[in-house]
Chains A and B, each alone.
Chain A
Amino acid sequence: MSLSGFFHSWPGLYVAQAFLHSLAASIVAEIAIKAWNVRDPAVRQRVLLVPVVAPVFLFPLFRLFGPERDTAYFRMGTLFESGRWLELEMLGTRPAMWGLALVFTVTALVFLFQELIPILRHSLESGRREKSAGGIDRLEDPAIRAMMESLPVAPDVFVVEDDDFVIYSTTGRSAAVYVSSSLVAALTEEELRSAVAHEISHIVRSRHPMMVAAYLLRALTFFNPVALMEFRRAAQEEEKVCDAFAVNLARNRGALVDALRKLYLPPEEDEPASRPKSRKTAMEIEERSHRLNIESRISRLESGEDLDPGMRWLAPAAVTVAAVLIDYYIV
């Protein structure tokens, strides 16, 4: 099948329209965030998930309930017809069609190598690590136990012998929080409770069906660069949502800020000169971006921004309705 034939087939139409639908939905989401100055991370996350989730269903639903979208008259009078751009010929080639195919291929490879393979490897390795780990002790802290009383889960907290500052959680049936011994030594009791509370909130939220469904739907549109970016932005908001949850749980905003500083913002070290320049630059960009993200979390916690309950569902609902209406006229 030729590339043109693919883009006129059902799967090709789905792929092209899912991309365009999420692109338009992501612009609508951005307009809503700016228009209402949405700062609540939970609301921002819902808004950002619209371009990830909606395009998975829109094309089949439109075909089912609006078969006129396929007709010549509808396509002529619509807001945006993808076929016009895909068929556009320049210098004997179709740049938009080939460009789109390239974008989808690169995105699929990014999904494979940056998400799917690392996730599979991580789950295999963590299973092995848990079995073979030697220096693991249960952390017994009555304050942490008391903190979990009102929660639907009560994960165990373990201290792992390690010189690096590490804290992470595992989800699933045997959910647990792991803290490195060096981090336990570096944090005060209050800071440690806040850090553990943050990890516990990840475990609690991983049982939330919306997040699980969003992740699975994101995986279905593995070719879609907009869904990839928006999902990553929504995942960053997840950290802020868990920060807010941890503050509610541990009741100490300042301790979480201090724990974040100690854990993620150590004094900057000199880079080894032997590292190749391009690799150094890439790492610098990654570290800078990570630092900015942590600083933004800290600044949010320090400002103690009040959440606007009125916007909790208003902004996501407005974005969903506007995105569906506009996407109907993108064929």
Chain B
Amino acid sequence: MRSKAFGFVAFAAGLAILVIALKALNWFPLVAQKDLMRRYGDFEEMRTALGIRQVFVPSYFPEEFRWPPTGILAQGKPYPAVIMEFERSGEGKAREIGMMIYQATRDDFSPGGTLAISRIRERATYPLKGRSAILEVGSGVKGEPCSRISWREKDVRITVLARLTPFELMKVAESMLR
């Protein structure tokens, strides 16, 4: 019985060493290769590191959000992708990501995270300044209103996902295009 209990301790210790080793192995390529997915302090730093010239950004922001993004994640390999996170700002607002704008050369790119539409109520094609965009309206994980609009712009797919009404979301998306 005692040896079995000691076995459990040894097993747990072995697993802990394995987890640490995996984390260390996972970290090494980040040091050796600069264009893997990582966080950047600002746009210039990201542009210099990855050479992604065209990043689509909005000129209109709803009241709760403001420029610059609170977080920027980007990668150059295996394909270019940029994620901009916007936290809600203002007195008494919980510091949580309320809007996410991402662009990637692949259509199936998905950032995931806490901001997501868990239930889609309506899905429609929407003409966005001459582009055909897909608008999805639904609710987030806590039941709050959540909308997403996505369209193809040259060689990238752009998506705006936010805890906003569809009307506000479309205003943000339209402000990203000339």
- State how many residues of chain A have any CB contact under 8 Å with chain B: 38
B78–A79 CB distance below 8 A: no
- Give the Cβ gap from A98 to chain B, nearest Cβ, in Å: 15
A71–B22 CB distance below 8 A: no
- A27-B18, A84-B29, A85-B29 in contact; A75/B37 too (CB < 8 A)? yes
A190 at the interface (CB under 8 A from B): no
Of B8, B36, B112, which one neighbours A71 at CB under 8 angstroms? Answer: B112
10 contacts between A and B (CB under 8 A): A35-B14, A71-B111, A76-B37, A78-B26, A79-B23, A80-B26, A87-B78, A88-B33, A310-B4, A314-B4
- A35-B11, A70-B110, A72-B83 in contact; A24/B29 too (CB < 8 A)? no
What residues on A are CB-neighbors of B112 within 8 Å? 68, 70-74
Contact with B along A164-201 (1 / 0, CB 8 A): 00000000000000000000000000000000000000
Interface, chain B (partner A; CB < 8 A): 3-4, 7-8, 10-11, 14-15, 18-19, 22-23, 25-26, 29-30, 32-33, 36-38, 73, 75, 77-78, 81, 83, 109-113
What residues on B are CB-neighbors of A330 within 8 Å? 22
Q: Closest 9 interchain pairs by CB? A: A71-B112, A31-B14, A35-B10, A36-B7, A84-B29, A35-B11, A73-B113, A73-B112, A80-B22
Of A28, A37, A70, A326, which one neighbours B7 at CB under 8 angstroms? Answer: A37
- A34-B10, A37-B7 in contact; A28/B22 too (CB < 8 A)? no
B78–A83 CB distance below 8 A: yes
Of B14, B26, B81, which one neighbours A72 at CB under 8 angstroms? Answer: B81
A318 at the interface (CB under 8 A from B): yes
Count chain B CB atoms within 10 A of each CB in A4, A84, A88, A322 and give the residue with the most. A84
A32 at the interface (CB under 8 A from B): yes
A302 at the interface (CB under 8 A from B): no
> A259-318: which residues lie under 8 A (CB-CB) from chain B?
310-311, 314, 318
A88–B15 CB distance below 8 A: no
Of B11, B29, B75, which one neighbours A36 at CB under 8 angstroms? Answer: B11
- Give the Cβ gap from B74 to chain A, nearest Cβ, in Å: 10
- A71-B111, A79-B23, A326-B18 in contact; A89/B11 too (CB < 8 A)? no
- Give the Cβ gap from B103 to chain A, nearest Cβ, in Å: 12
Please measure, in the bound complex, the distance between the C-alpha atom of A88 and the C-alpha atom of B32, giving whole angstroms: 8
A233 at the interface (CB under 8 A from B): no
What residues on B are CB-neighbors of A314 within 8 Å? 4
Please measure, in the bound complex, the distance between the C-alpha atom of A78 and the C-alpha atom of B30, giving whole angstroms: 13
Please measure, in the bound complex, the distance between the C-alpha atom of A75 and the C-alpha atom of B113, giving whole angstroms: 11
Please measure, in the bound complex, the distance between the C-alpha atom of A34 and the C-alpha atom of B11, giving whole angstroms: 8
